[in-house]
Chains A and B, each alone.
Chain A
Amino acid sequence: MTPPVLSVDALSVRLNMAGETVDLLHDLTFSLHKGETLAVVGESGAGKSMLTRVLAQQLPDNMQVSHGAVYFKGENLLALPAKQQRQITGREITYIPQEPMVALNPVMTIGQQFSEYLQHLGMNKKRRHAETLTALEDVGLQDGASLLKRYPHQLSGGQCQRIMIALAFISQPALVICDEATTALDAVNQNRVLSLIRRCQKKYDTAVLFITHDISLAASLSEQVMVMYAGELMEFGLSNSVLNNPRHPYTQALMQSRPAITGPWQPLIPLQGHMPGGSELQQLKGCRFQSRCRFAGEDCTNRIQPRLLDDDSHLVRCLITPSDEYHPSSPDEEDTFSEHYALGLLGTSEPFLRAENISKDYISGRFARRSRKRALKDVSFTLAPGEFVAVVGESGSGKSTLAHTLMGLEKKHGGQIYLHDKALGHSESEWRRRIGCIQMVFQNPNSALNPARTTASLMTQPMEYRRFLPSERRQRAQALAHAVGLNKKLLPCLPQDLSGGQRQRVNIGRSLCDIPQLLIADEIVSGLDVSVQAQILNLLLRLRREFKISLLLISHDLAVVRYLCSRVLVMHQGEIVESGPPQQVFSSPQHPYTKTLVNASRSAEGLEPVQ
């Protein structure tokens, strides 16, 4: 029997921090055979990227492999001389990065980048060109010759992604590492990329290490799934077995914090707390998940070895085998998460916001070269107090333009927006009226939070421009921190000291400062880990009950939409092509575009397409 392509044996990576050491990766063992796919699942901080860094020999200076070995085709990769290591990592192990636009060199043409790489592989000039064209054809880029003369900025994001896949497979590697390659994509594009990768994989019989935070995606595309938490393997097994019968409490928690696209509405149960990092790991003895585990007992502080379960291929690092069901621990929680409350009859009163036939063009160029591109075409809808409405569609369908137009950040070219039956224009007083009623939560908290302001100052920023006492501002900051579930100790912190989830809470807290009637949320959960995402989703439901706010949610994630919203608008090329309650739209889509969208999402979850 041939040795596995990649075999990791009891791997530990140690971080030195000012004389103290802590194992960031601890006792990791798995193997991957030719042509197979292994999905590594975990939230940020789980050590997924650390693993790829070990494989690529890119560990920072203060970390080193302290124990264990990595075997590549039977050879110990870490013990090889540097030159051989480089040859293997360049030719045999390749990498598909998360952001193709950033990964390509902006000052070289696509052709030069291919040729540079192939030259490293020792290919002569004539073959290089031919190989490049075949590789491009493999990924569905027919017009290869003209593409090679272009620079990355002249291509679309999708084309760049395809080029990265072509680059990764051109050397016919034994192993391709795919690091969150589809995270930022909507379901349709995600499907396209995944099927490309699978096609190339089949052609060259490559092993693929697929790193993702989405457990259902992982299960739908790979044979095996490995769940990681805080640098340790928690569960390993065949996809079906892990997905349908998760045995580790963490895996179960992951599944429960992810909204489903079919079936009855179920409350999400987010994991509380955060993943231990750096210095916290050092103090932790035994199971690294114990502080957040519902089943944790005294035995959990002992060292826990992974053990095989009955069916021989399912590995779990846990002492107990918890049952699958969840029992609400307090009556309060049960009350909070009834479906009636979540999707209740809140949207039945008179609408306060009406958008009628909004249209918008993007105009580029001047004079003779002036060209118009339709971004929004006759978009009409209404919003009632307390109603959660979703806008779905692929990127470029005009979702964000609609949000910006409603918010007044961009000017519309036609139609009218009525707020409380009065038309909204662009004068200063109308701008005040608008921002008093409508607020926006931006997609990326890293860019939406001023790095020089503290949490308290960020959340109460709207009070800065009117007369308030500092004590009033402090009080409001504390009330907002409470409302969004943020620890009061974090109020004097800068954004750089907060975690991703905390930043998003600050981001939401700021928009709630003056308690608006409508929140426009542009993809606010798309970049977050599932457990944080679940917390934010439940937070939004709670805020609806407390403040009766409405929400216009822009999202590409249909499961999230189904969890939150009572109405969904499907946008395609600047038009609303279909609308209705999510259950109805997602189970029997009418418009062809909606069908594609729904089926793409269903296939990512491993479900049959609808007709």
Chain B
Amino acid sequence: MTISISMNGISTTLRRAGWRLLLGGGIYITLFIVALLAPQLAPHAADTQHLEQTLLPPFWMDGGHTDYLLGTDVLGRDILSQLIYGARVTAIVVVLAPLGAALTGSCLGLMAGYLRGWTEKVIMTLVEIWMAFPSVVLAMLLMVALMPGFTSVILAIILVDWTRFCRVIRGEVITWRDRDFVKAARLSGASHLSVMVSDLLPVVRPTLMVLITLEMATAIMAESILSFVGMSVGPDTPSWGAMIARSLNTVFSAPWQLVPPMAAIVITIFAAMMLGTGLRFSRREQTATGDEVLV
């Protein structure tokens, strides 16, 4: 019973993962596949305009057309195809932005929490000043400074959200750093760097994972907001936020346009939440089993 916990196979991992992890993970795997195969999946090119067939409703409504399953926008572009191509932006943002923020934030957080002293003071003062800016305004300012574009979107999200990682990881590291195993690692001959990397990082990893999933949701939201205000990727690259922004102009005559991009955003954020909750639950279950062994 005790040994099986550490040697669990894939099947037990899946079973313990629970439906939340499976659901969240499944939605993201679908998202990545759709993004990867967008040219094959999309019925039309995203930017082809069919000016004689503008503002078509979805095919099941009156006046709909099966060529355009979810209808067309004001320039006659296929909404389904835009949605599929828009998944590419989301898929890249949802991977790179949280990873970048996690890398920056947890490096600084580890340093602040472990080294303490003036290092911590400098880092935490920076974090506090940083957090004093409203995040959306800061992101827009950064976009203006960086020139709109794909790399800038990711960079802006990282620069806005690294502070959260920094704070949480620092707090967690502080609770662990006074444990004897840190001293024991030093006595084994570890340098301060290796204590941080090979002793403290593995211990805070579960927290880091949960934070990353939360950041995935935030990143999607941030990208949509930036596209909505027209400060994200250029108009030639389809993105869900930009679709919402454009459809607002004709929202009273063609309200159905709003639904697909909004649903896509809501579902991906929901999936990120499920991943986070699932990870948290599976951790709790593990500790619960650990207790049971001691009974």
Q: Contact residues of A with B, CB < 8 Å?
A: 15, 17, 24, 45, 277-279, 407, 409, 432, 435, 439-440, 442-444, 447-454, 461-462, 464-466, 489-490, 492-494, 496-498, 510-511, 513
Contact = CB atoms under 8 A, between A and B. Distances in A.
Contacts of A279: 1
Contacts of B293: 277-278, 496-497
A493 B189 contact: no
Contact of A435 (B2, B181, B188): B188
A490 B293 CA distance: 15
B187 interface: yes
B172 to A, nearest CB: 13
Given A447-B179, A448-B179, A465-B189, A510 B184 contact: yes
Interface string B182-211: 011111111100100011001101000000
A464 B190 contact: yes
B7 interface: yes
A440 B182 CA distance: 13
A435 B189 CA distance: 7
B189 A432 contact: yes
A104 to B, nearest CB: 21
A176 B175 CA distance: 35
Nearest to B286: A496
A15 B293 CA distance: 13
B180 A444 contact: yes
Max chain B Cβ within 10 angstroms of own Cβ: one of A45, A493, A513 = A493
24 contacts: A24-B295, A45-B294, A277-B294, A278-B1, A278-B292, A279-B1, A407-B187, A442-B184, A448-B179, A448-B183, A448-B184, A452-B205, A461-B190, A462-B188, A464-B198, A465-B188, A465-B189, A465-B194, A466-B189, A496-B5, A496-B293, A497-B6, A497-B293, A510-B184
Kindly list the 5 A-B residue pairs having the minimum CB-CB distance in the complex, ordered from nearest.
A452-B202, A448-B180, A462-B188, A442-B180, A450-B181
B188 A464 contact: yes
Nearest to A500: B294
B295 A15 contact: yes
Contacts of A450: 181, 185, 199, 202-203
B3 interface: yes
Given A409-B183, A490-B3, 12 more contacts: A45-B294, A45-B295, A278-B295, A409-B187, A443-B180, A447-B179, A448-B180, A448-B181, A448-B183, A465-B189, A510-B184, A510-B188
A439 to B, nearest CB: 6
Contacts of B295: 15, 24, 45, 277-278
Contacts of A497: 2-3, 5-6, 290, 293
B155 to A, nearest CB: 32
Contacts of A442: 180, 183-184
Contacts of B202: 450, 452-453
Interface in B222-279: none
Nearest to B206: A452
Nearest to B202: A452
Contacts of B188: 435, 461-462, 464-465, 510, 513
Contacts of A511: 187
A496 B202 CA distance: 15
- Majority DSSP secondary structure for residues of B touching A: helix
Contacts of A513: 188
A36 B287 CA distance: 40
A465 B2 CA distance: 30
Interface size class of B (residues with CB under 8 A): 20 to 34
A317 B3 CA distance: 32
A452 B3 contact: no
B290 A447 contact: no
B190 A493 contact: no
Nearest to B287: A496
Contacts of B185: 450, 461
B181 A447 contact: yes
A468 to B, nearest CB: 12
A278 B291 CA distance: 11
A453 to B, nearest CB: 7
Interface string B166-186: 000000000000011101111
Contacts of A453: 199, 202
A61 to B, nearest CB: 12
Contacts of B287: 496
A59 to B, nearest CB: 12
Contact of B6 (A278, A440, A493): A493
Nearest to A444: B180
B134 to A, nearest CB: 33
A449 B181 contact: yes
B187 A440 contact: yes
A497 B189 CA distance: 26
Contacts of B191: 465
Contacts of A462: 188-189
Contacts of A490: 3
A496 B294 CA distance: 9
Nearest to A502: B2
A443 B184 CA distance: 11
A595 B142 CA distance: 73
A6 to B, nearest CB: 24
A447 B6 contact: no
B130 to A, nearest CB: 29
Contacts of A461: 184-185, 188, 190
Nearest to A498: B2
B6 A454 contact: yes
Contacts of B203: 450-452
B189 to A, nearest CB: 4
Contacts of B184: 440, 442, 448, 461, 510
Contact of B3 (A24, A45, A435, A493): A493
B189 A492 contact: no
A288 to B, nearest CB: 15
B195 to A, nearest CB: 10
A496 B3 CA distance: 10
Nearest to B182: A450
Contacts of B3: 489-490, 493, 497
B189 A439 contact: no
Contacts of A448: 179-181, 183-184
Contacts of A494: 5-6
B192 to A, nearest CB: 12
B240 to A, nearest CB: 38
Contacts of A489: 3
B290 A496 contact: yes
